[in-house]
């Protein structure tokens, strides 16, 4: 964990460099491993003049080059005891996790395990001398996700969650090769029980969203324990192991008087009951298929409702592109269930529409507001207004007043007329 002097430097300078947190002996051991890599990269980038520089200067030069091999790491310090949710940049000089996972592991060991599986790491630090109360914990717990996106837990609790004999080869979309829980370990279920009980106690709502997305192909296929579990239950596909684990989660939540929510992958393997509510993120078609199977569903297609998507075809616009470019007009013209007849029973299985904003690229409250408004207003009208009553020009005229109200309260937004 960071010491007081390092936290004070974060406060004043806004960043730490590698030599600030890695002991000298650790840095020395890294030199040989990464010098050849750095020299090769610098040469290929036309920066051979930097090869004679020190190891740390090479790292700085590589980071400053802006190449995708290197990523910054953001540190958020929760609570006003330190810095009230102010993003701090940890860098320069942290290798991308694909290029140098060992260095990333060393950094994690020092500052605490990560809480996200995204390429730009967001690490929340709770100083040892402070204790968060339940309200503070509620403010900083973003959600749970099983069985993928669990690298932080596996790193923090290897004695419970690491199957050292598992030789399965896989890579998640975030390029991790070690971020999936094993359904064949007793420790996995001890961990699930503890976390789910804590979550159920913290949050009074009758629902718990358990994620279940992005478990990569190839997991559990070369694990003796997992293969034995499959043979014991007569499973023929590794996806059934995901269903096996999620059925346990569903039953545990039911015993805690909670109903399980999950992404559409939650029903992979056909093991969870139709009491689970499915949120579709890959497409609306996925929601319709789940509704046909008897699940209640929430529509959240990334092509229209993901507010972390870029808002224009413009390199200066923040945001991702994998689902779509999502300008305001595009979001407004989402037509949910447009090909489903009004009297189709499927209509009754759809609870509504949800928008989401994932914050890998969000470094301030102002940026968050910019990504949300006014697309959220458009999606709200999509969800709550009959198609026959929708009108783009009328929406824009009403939006003007709404944005003036936001401005009066000091809330940022993207100007749709600029």
pLDDT tens-digit series, residues 338-352: 999 999 999 999 999
Decide if 222 contacts 169 (C-beta within 8 A): yes
Is there a domain that residue 289 lies in?
A: no
Are 128 and 153 members of one domain? no
Are 165 and 234 members of one domain? yes
Are 344 and 237 members of one domain? no
CATH number at residue 407: 3.20.20.80
Is there a domain that residue 374 lies in?
A: yes
Per-range mean pLDDT, top range of 9-18, 52-61, 260-269: 260-269
Are 303 and 266 members of one domain? no
Query: Per-residue pLDDT tens for 208-238?
Result: 999 999 999 999 999 999 999 999 999 999 8
**Higher local confidence (pLDDT), 247 or 63:** 247
Give residue 62's domain range.
1-112+124-132
User: What percent of the chain stands above pLDDT 70?
Assistant: 70
Strand, helix or coil at 104? helix
Query: Per-residue pLDDT tens for 143-196?
Result: 678 898 888 788 878 899 999 999 999 988 877 888 999 999 999 999 999 999
Question: Count of domains in the chain?
Answer: 3
Query: Which stretch of 111-115, 259-263, 264-268, 410-414 has the lowest confidence by average pLDDT?
Result: 111-115
Are 27 and 81 members of one domain? yes
Are 260 and 304 members of one domain? no
Are 256 and 153 members of one domain? yes
Are 58 and 169 members of one domain? no
321 contacts: CB under 8 Å, gap ≥ 6 = 309, 310
pLDDT value for 406: 94
Mean pLDDT of the chain, nearest integer: 78
**DSSP one-letter string for 152-209:** HHHHH-HHHH--TT-------TT--SS----TT-HHHHHHHHHHHHHHHHH--SSEEE
In angstroms, the Cα distances linking 9 to 71, 156, 413, 417 are: 21, 26, 32, 42
Q: Can you give the pTM of this predicted structure? A: 0.70
Are 205 and 167 members of one domain? yes
pLDDT value for 92: 27
Is there a domain that residue 223 lies in?
A: yes
Are 91 and 181 members of one domain? no
CA-to-CA distance for 191 and 246, rounded, in angstroms? 14
Given a cut of 50, whether residue 98 has pLDDT beyond it is no
pLDDT value for 120: 28
């Amino acid at each position: 964990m960071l010491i007081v002097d390092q936290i004070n430097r974060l406060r004043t300078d806004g960043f730490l460099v590698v030599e600030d947190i890695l002991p000298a002996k650790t840095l020395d051991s890294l030199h040989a491993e990464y010098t050849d890599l750095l020299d090769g990269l610098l040469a290929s980038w036309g920066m051979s003049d930097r090869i004679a520089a020190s190891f740390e200067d090479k790292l700085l030069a590589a980071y400053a080059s802006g190449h995708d091999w290197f990523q910054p790491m953001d540190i958020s310090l929760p609570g006003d005891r330190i810095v009230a949710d102010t993003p701090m940049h940890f860098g320069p000089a942290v290798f991308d996790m694909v290029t140098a996972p060992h260095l990333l592991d060393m950094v994690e060991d020092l500052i605490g395990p990560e809480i996200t599986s995204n390429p730009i790491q967001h690490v929340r630090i709770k100083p040892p001398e402070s204790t968060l109360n339940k309200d503070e914990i509620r403010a900083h717990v973003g959600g749970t996700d099983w069985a993928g996106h669990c690298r932080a837990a596996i790193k923090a609790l290897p004695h419970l969650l690491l199957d050292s004999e598992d030789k399965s080869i896989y890579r998640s979309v975030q390029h991790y090769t070690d971020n999936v829980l094993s359904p064949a370990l007793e420790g996995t279920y001890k961990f699930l029980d503890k976390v789910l009980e804590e979550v159920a106690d913290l949050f009074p709502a009758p629902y718990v969203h358990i994620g279940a997305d992005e478990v990569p192909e190839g997991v559990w296929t070369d694990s003796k324990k997992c293969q034995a579990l499959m043979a014991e239950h007569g499973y023929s596909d590794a996806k059934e192991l995901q269903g096996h684990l999620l059925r346990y989660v569903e039953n545990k939540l039911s015993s805690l008087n909670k109903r399980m929510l999950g992404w559409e992958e939650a029903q992979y393997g056909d093991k969870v009951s139709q009491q689970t509510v499915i949120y579709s993120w890959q497409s609306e078609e996925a929601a319709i298929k789940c509704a046909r199977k008897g699940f209640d569903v929430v529509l959240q297609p990334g092509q229209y409702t993901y507010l972390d998507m870029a808002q224009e075809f413009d390199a200066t616009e923040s945001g991702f592109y994998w689902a779509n470019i999502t300008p305001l007009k595009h979001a407004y013209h989402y037509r949910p269930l447009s090909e489903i007849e009004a009297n189709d029973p499927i209509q009754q299985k759809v609870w509504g529409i949800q928008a989401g904003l994932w914050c890998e690229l969000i470094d301030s409250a102002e940026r968050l507001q910019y990504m949300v408004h006014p697309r959220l207003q458009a999606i709200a009208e999509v969800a709550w207004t009959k198609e026959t009553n929708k009108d783009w020009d009328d929406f824009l005229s009403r939006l003007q007043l709404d944005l003036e109200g936001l401005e009066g309260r000091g809330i940022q937004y993207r100007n749709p007329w600029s």
